[in-house]
Amino acid sequence: MPELPEVETMVRGVRRHCENRRVETVEFCPCPRQPIPVFPDRGTFVRVHGATIESVGRLGKRALLKLNLGDTIVIEPRMTGLLLVSEPPTELHLRMRLWLQPSRGLAATLRFWDRRGLGTVSLLDESQMQQLRNRLGPDALEMTLVDWKQRLAKTSRPIKVALLEQSLVAGIGNLYASEILHLSGISPKRRADRVRGGQLSAMAEAVRTVLETAIRYEGSTLNDGTYRNALNEDGGYQNHHRVYDREGEQCSNCGQSSIRRIVQAQRSTFFCPSCQR
């Protein structure tokens, strides 16, 4: 889970508390559970003490805190990570705290919380940051029709599997891939290099529509309740899912077929066999 809309929501939620503020200290919390991976290592983060956060941004499913001295803190929430400026869901799973220069009306700390501990925190210099950008495809919200054409033409994998490939396009995960393909009427099993013409334009438009709408609703909080916005509140897009986790329910588009679930590359795919060809 956290995909592009959820990470964008976290980033927007913490931005005003972090930008142009100095980091006093970085604290890795003593979590008795599986420790999160820290790159290159925890000791290196003393470099952050005294630096100012210039901007807070996003790269695919990662949050970026750009510092004034050229370093960037990269936080990848992966399955259950959250960026918070309020009390975390549990103290037990708090992983990292950035203590910020005190300022009236703003949060004292930025917190990274992660129940399962699969998220990662990295401190990258400019060249390492460039290497990361080179490894990833363009951000899903910045893909043009030409980008889609060129990138999908190179893969014969099913379109649903291709959409999850972060080196092809960054930011889309399992939930939104199913939603995008239902909105654009494309079978998840269709070969990626055969999605062309009107279908491809419909898909490019659906990517934008689904992701931007999900950002407006502040992401999707699923039944496990894990995903929260920066203030530890639920997102709202789960009430608008067209197919995700709706196996057996009637399709809201055709009103005739029921939503089916199949497994592709070990992940569940939800789709309507009538609407998606």
From the candidates 58, 61, 78, 151, give the one annotated as an active-site residue: 61
Q: Out of 213, 253, 264, 268, which residue is the one contacting Zn ion (CB under 5 A)? A: 253
Q: Which is nearer to Zn ion, 44 or 250 (CB)?
A: 250
Interaction between residue 275 and Zn ion (CB under 5 A): yes
Q: Which is nearer to Zn ion, 67 or 251 (CB)?
A: 251
Q: Which is nearer to Zn ion, 75 or 210 (CB)?
A: 210
Q: Which is nearer to Zn ion, 11 or 251 (CB)?
A: 251
Q: How far is the CB of 252 from Zn ion (least distance, A)?
A: 8
Is 104 an annotated catalytic residue?
no
Instruction: Give the H or E element holding residue 24.
Output: strand 21-28
User: For tokens 């699969």, what's the residue?
Assistant: 118
Is 3 an annotated catalytic residue?
yes
From the candidates 15, 16, 116, 267, give the one annotated as an active-site residue: 267
Interaction between residue 63 and Zn ion (CB under 5 A): no
User: For tokens 């033409």, what's the residue?
Assistant: 153
Please answer whether residues 56 and 64 qualify as being in contact, where contact means their C-beta atoms are separated by less than 8 angstroms.
yes
Q: How far is the CB of 251 from Zn ion (least distance, A)?
A: 3
Q: Which is nearer to Zn ion, 153 or 254 (CB)?
A: 254
Is 66 an annotated catalytic residue?
no
Query: What are the start-end ranges of the E strands in 117-266?
Result: 120-124, 260-264
Residues 6+ apart with CB under 8 A from 127: none
Q: Provide the sign of the torsion angle of the four alpha carbons 138, 139, 144, 147, taken in this order.
A: positive
Q: Out of 52, 101, 213, 274, which residue is the one contacting Zn ion (CB under 5 A)? A: 274
Interaction between residue 107 and Zn ion (CB under 5 A): no
| CA 121/CA 198 separation, integer angstroms | 41
Please state whether beta strands 81-84 and 120-124 pair in parallel, antiparallel, or not at all (unpaired). unpaired
Residues 6+ apart with CB under 8 A from 178: 160, 188, 243, 244, 269, 270, 271
Number of chain positions touching Zn ion (CB under 5 A): 7
Chain centroid to CA 206: 17
Please answer whether residues 47 and 127 qualify as being in contact, where contact means their C-beta atoms are separated by less than 8 angstroms.
no
Q: Which position's Cβ is nearest Zn ion?
A: 251
Site string (232-251) toward Zn ion, x via CB under 5 A: -------------------x
Options 98-106, 157-165, 192-200, 266-274: segment touching Zn ion (CB under 5 A): 266-274
Please answer whether residues 169 and 180 qualify as being in contact, where contact means their C-beta atoms are separated by less than 8 angstroms.
no
Interaction between residue 259 and Zn ion (CB under 5 A): no
Residues belonging to the chain: 277
Please answer whether residues 232 and 86 qualify as being in contact, where contact means their C-beta atoms are separated by less than 8 angstroms.
yes
Interaction between residue 181 and Zn ion (CB under 5 A): no
Query: Do you find a cis peptide bond into 89, omega within 30 degrees of 0?
Result: no
Interaction between residue 82 and Zn ion (CB under 5 A): no
Q: Which is nearer to Zn ion, 232 or 257 (CB)?
A: 257
Q: Out of 145, 254, 258, 265, which residue is the one contacting Zn ion (CB under 5 A)? A: 254
Please answer whether residues 121 and 72 qualify as being in contact, where contact means their C-beta atoms are separated by less than 8 angstroms.
no
The set of catalytic residues is 2-3, 61, 267
Residue ranges that bind Zn ion, judged by CB under 5 A:
251, 253-254, 257, 272, 274-275
